[in-house]
Structure 1
Amino acid sequence: MEINVNVSKLVKPSTPTPSTLRNFHISFFDDKSGNENVPLILYYSTSHKEPNDVQTNIFNHLEISLSKTLTEFYPLAGRYTRHSSFIDCNDQGALYIQAKANFQLSEFLHLKWELKSDMLQAFLPCDIRKAGEVDDPLLSVKVTTFDCGGVAIGMCISHKFGDMAAFCTFINNWATRSRKTGNELEVAKYSPLFALADRFPKPDQQLTDEAFERSPSVNNSVMRVFSFKGYAITKLREKVMSEDNNIKHRPSKVQLIVALLWKALVDIDKANGESKVSFVSQVVNLRNVLVPKAPENFCGNFVTFANAQIKVSEGDNMVDLPLIVKLLHDSTNKTTSGYARALSHPEKDYDFLSKPFSERLKSITGNSDVNAYVFTSWCKFSFYTTDFGWGKPVWRSITDMKTPQTVVMMDDEEGDGVEAWVLMDKKRMCELERDLNIKAYMV
């Protein structure tokens, strides 16, 4: 099974970016984001095999609509200057790759996980860590057509430009322009609002992103998908709420899966005789925290961390699941309530806003007494229904995130379940897969 690249080029905005917009300054929250790409691959099927000339039209049509989209999302055609903390909107262009797979989409989707996961990187236009240097595109796209006429659109967007919410605004804008039924009113819904740097500028005295470098990738890490169906999550919720009357809220499906996985990781450390702090960072979208609520097309990075920890001591009783659910809930509530006050205050308390990032950084920087994990949820984002003209995606995936002890959660195909894409070292992953609590609820 091979994927051959036919064309690789830079796509520029259809209308040149005005000189007045040349320097796009990043915000406080952009500065806190790592120099890495956010990956996403969307897979689309068709009911019949497309002839070569139709596939060529697909490539050309997507390129033209991408060029028009870049006129609005002009920073994505520029380059990030890391030492000056701004994007040079020089219209150098986004990377656009056209590729052809010599197999059918159904063949790929029916592969066993080990074979499928080995191929995921082939659908992406670049390594997710190829970011932050002056020559690295802020947006890279790879369009792959299959023998059956199916299409895979692999995308990498720089985290210096935005988070997954901003990524979805871009994708929706591009997809709407690509649909023959798309119109200017529809496109206008997904026009980006670049206001974060004005509202939350990066303080002059603040350290540059060099202080927040990503951790090096670890070669012995592996990625697995743990799938939990809606009915199993309902069963888990009932169990948690029946065992502890102190839980007054209805735990979300994401909160329950984070708790289930974290409990397993704590139990693994205890069983191995480790005496460490188990530290969890949950990514929190601040658009719903801002008062009044930020519009959906609020582009940039607008997230923080809700941090929680458990001291792992050999010989202690195993930490129960309701306690972890409550710990996660209290941590998130404390973060959102504190940020709601801080974000609405005219004088920005950057020490307070920086605290969750500093705690996270401290937990992963040369601290051998801490096992640190990060959980991020992509559930309920709009890419599940993104239509470029061929209907909704039949599958969506990421690839190896290169950062161990990371979990990305996405909705399953039915929408009420959760797929947890977990990256761990091989030893811990084997122990995680054997955990009886996980096996009790996993498909």
Structure 2
Amino acid sequence: MKVEAIGKETIKPSSPTPNDLRTVKLSVYDQFLPPVYTVSVLFFSNSCRHDQTQREGPMFSEHDTSLKLKSSLSETLTRFYPLSGRINDGGDAIDCNDEGAVFVDARSDSTLLDFLKSPDFAALQRFLPLDTVENPYESAATWPLLLVKATYFKCGGLAIGICISHKIADAASISMFVRGWAATARGDSDSATYPEFTAAKFFPPASESTRFSGKITLDRKICATKRFVFDGSKIAELRRKVASGDVAEPTRVESITGLLWKCVVTASNSVSEKLLSKVLNQPVNLRGKVPSLLSENVMGNVMYSSMPLMIDGQGEVEIQDAVKDLRRKADELKRFIRDDGGSSLIGTKMVDLILSNISGLSYETHEPYSVSSWCKLPLYEADFGWGSPAWVTGNVAPALDNLMILIDSKDGAGVEAWVTLPEQVMLSFEQNAELLAFACPNPTVSV
């Protein structure tokens, strides 16, 4: 499949950012995150259109659709104004200077249906505008903070790839932005999102003294990223299997995380003789959990990172034990929030706990993994005026090692897992019989 850029433009807010909003502080949590982009790709097909009487011919006129996307993005940036700015030299704030976001138009020589037959990760990257920046790591930490790519398939379908610097956006943030932009595009002002850039009022604000001084390099392990899909019936079966007296009704995410963790540990043990402890990090979205301090519209990285699972050396994992530990950590967080009573210092206390969790970790003694759940984020509600997406996917780019992303299938019952592991570990992982009893490797996306 070939994707060729046919145009590139800088989109600025339709109205200048007021002087009193020209600086947005980053939180210390934002500052510590690696310089990558939080990314999502939304695919729209002819069958998505509202007018079902006209199904023949291209759904999207390149010229008209591009104008609509660009003009609505310009309007949306007046509300999401930091995305047009750049992170300052100190790395502790965003200068909201309206420099703009990058927008790329592109064409694919494939049809959408052909691509969705087997949507591999390498091909998926072609719908992201990362090739417009010289170094994605430097760009994610400086500027541009927002990049967009609209790719038109020869069948008339459309892919919209969105990259927002992880320094200012977690998964919930990119969902908020996408739905806000879509509402503006379809002219639905009542549904327009008004974000709050107040993460640094919850977590301690970043400062030059807390700036991460290390450098991210490209000398990383050779990794593979693959997609595994759990349909609703298989998830129900898995939940029944992992239920226990300690966790009588495990959630979808708990059950799938427990299974993936067991299979990852087994695969890692099979290819490595190093006696490294394996640690699983699980970021938790805090929006709605501390309602007195955090609304659902807070933009930024509003997460609590816990280390719920750890296995020593060549130890093995029992799924029920993993699910029990996941539930125990979730209950501990609830009690912590409840006992704190929503005081203004709770964010500081959480950062202290996060730092305490990671202070004893070292790459020489520990093998870190992360699982991030995007489940229940309403990305399929992103209607730009031509209906909901046929398929939505998300990740971070450039892809991080040892990362698992969980995202809802379109029916809301299934879950897609994008798993990134070292190549040799992946070869063992993807052949695990217990995994394959519940998950299907990269099935065709139904449109």
Cα deviation for residue 438 of structure 1 reads 0.7
- For 1:237, the equivalent position in structure 2 comes to 239
Equivalent in 118, 124, 133 of residue 120 of structure 1: 124
How far does the alpha carbon of each residue in 1:394-420 deviate from its partner, in whole angstroms, 9 at most, with x for none? Answer: 112246642110000111232212111
SS in 2 for 1:131: helix
Tell me which amino acid in the other structure corresponds to 2:15: T
Cα deviation for residue 219 of structure 1 reads 4.8
Tell me which amino acid in the other structure corresponds to 2:330: T
Cα 1:203–1:378 shift into 2, 3 Å: closer
Q: Are 1:38 and 1:156, in contact at CA under 8 Å, matched by a contact in 2? A: yes
- For 1:196, the equivalent position in structure 2 comes to 199
Equivalent in 100, 105, 115 of residue 98 of structure 1: 105
SS in 1 for 2:299: coil
Cα 1:324–1:146 shift into 2, 3 Å: same
Unaligned runs of 5+ in 2: 47-54, 441-447
- For 1:253, the equivalent position in structure 2 comes to 252
Cα 1:63–1:270 shift into 2, 3 Å: closer
1:418 matched to 2:420: no
Cα deviation for residue 329 of structure 1 reads 1.4
| Aligned-partner Cα distance in 2 for 1:437–1:51 | 42
| Aligned-partner Cα distance in 2 for 1:293–1:351 | 14
Cα deviation for residue 343 of structure 1 reads 7.8
How far does the alpha carbon of each residue in 1:210-238 deviate from its partner, in whole angstroms, 9 at most, with x for none? Answer: 36x66756351001111111111111111
| Aligned-partner Cα distance in 1 for 2:246–2:107 | 56
Cα 1:411–1:6 shift into 2, 3 Å: same
How far does the alpha carbon of each residue in 1:327-373 deviate from its partner, in whole angstroms, 9 at most, with x for none? Answer: 1111222234324545822345735423325534753x5x2221210
Identify which range, 136-145 or 122-131, moves more after superposition: 122-131
- For 2:172, the equivalent position in structure 1 comes to 165
Cα 1:5–1:313 shift into 2, 3 Å: closer
- Using the size of structure 1 for normalisation, the TM-score is 0.89
Count matched residues.
426
SS in 1 for 2:437: helix
- For 2:211, the equivalent position in structure 1 comes to 208
Cα 1:439–1:78 shift into 2, 3 Å: same
Cα deviation for residue 277 of structure 1 reads 1.3
SS in 2 for 1:333: helix
Tell me which amino acid in the other structure corresponds to 1:258: T
Tell me which amino acid in the other structure corresponds to 1:296: E
| Identical counterparts, % of pairs | 30
- Using the size of structure 2 for normalisation, the TM-score is 0.88
Cα deviation for residue 186 of structure 1 reads 2.0
Q: Are 1:281 and 1:360, in contact at CA under 8 Å, matched by a contact in 2? A: no
- For 2:433, the equivalent position in structure 1 comes to 436
1:370 matched to 2:378: no
SS in 1 for 2:357: helix
| Aligned-partner Cα distance in 2 for 1:349–1:419 | 31
Tell me which amino acid in the other structure corresponds to 1:131: S
- Aligned CA RMSD, in angstroms, stands at 2.5
| Aligned-partner Cα distance in 2 for 1:230–1:119 | 27
Cα deviation for residue 133 of structure 1 reads 4.8
Equivalent in 174, 184, 191 of residue 186 of structure 1: 191
Tell me which amino acid in the other structure corresponds to 1:265: V
Equivalent runs, 1:225-304 vs 2, <5 Å: 225-241=227-243, 244-248=244-248, 250-271=249-270, 274-292=274-292, 294-304=294-304
Identify which range, 73-82 or 343-352, moves more after superposition: 343-352
SS in 2 for 1:266: helix
Cα 1:338–1:210 shift into 2, 3 Å: farther
How far does the alpha carbon of each residue in 1:266-308 deviate from its partner, in whole angstroms, 9 at most, with x for none? Answer: 2334445553311001110011321447332122210121212
Unaligned runs of 5+ in 1: none
How far does the alpha carbon of each residue in 1:75-108 deviate from its partner, in whole angstroms, 9 at most, with x for none? Answer: 1110112524111111110001111222321121
- For 2:312, the equivalent position in structure 1 comes to 312
| Aligned-partner Cα distance in 2 for 1:85–1:293 | 22
| Aligned-partner Cα distance in 1 for 2:262–2:318 | 7
Structure 1 consecutive aligned stretches of length 4 or more whose deviation exceeds 4 Å = 203-206, 213-217, 269-274, 339-343
Q: Are 1:13 and 1:70, in contact at CA under 8 Å, matched by a contact in 2? A: yes
Q: Are 2:309 and 2:322, in contact at CA under 8 Å, matched by a contact in 1? A: no
Cα 1:388–1:273 shift into 2, 3 Å: same
Tell me which amino acid in the other structure corresponds to 1:437: E
| Aligned-partner Cα distance in 2 for 1:340–1:28 | 23
Cα 1:120–1:77 shift into 2, 3 Å: same
Cα deviation for residue 262 of structure 1 reads 0.8
Identify which range, 321-330 or 334-343, moves more after superposition: 334-343
Cα 1:199–1:324 shift into 2, 3 Å: closer
Tell me which amino acid in the other structure corresponds to 2:160: I
Tell me which amino acid in the other structure corresponds to 1:298: V
Q: Are 2:196 and 2:299, in contact at CA under 8 Å, matched by a contact in 1? A: yes
How far does the alpha carbon of each residue in 1:52-72 deviate from its partner, in whole angstroms, 9 at most, with x for none? Answer: 9x3201101110000000011
- For 2:18, the equivalent position in structure 1 comes to 18
| Aligned-partner Cα distance in 2 for 1:3–1:273 | 42
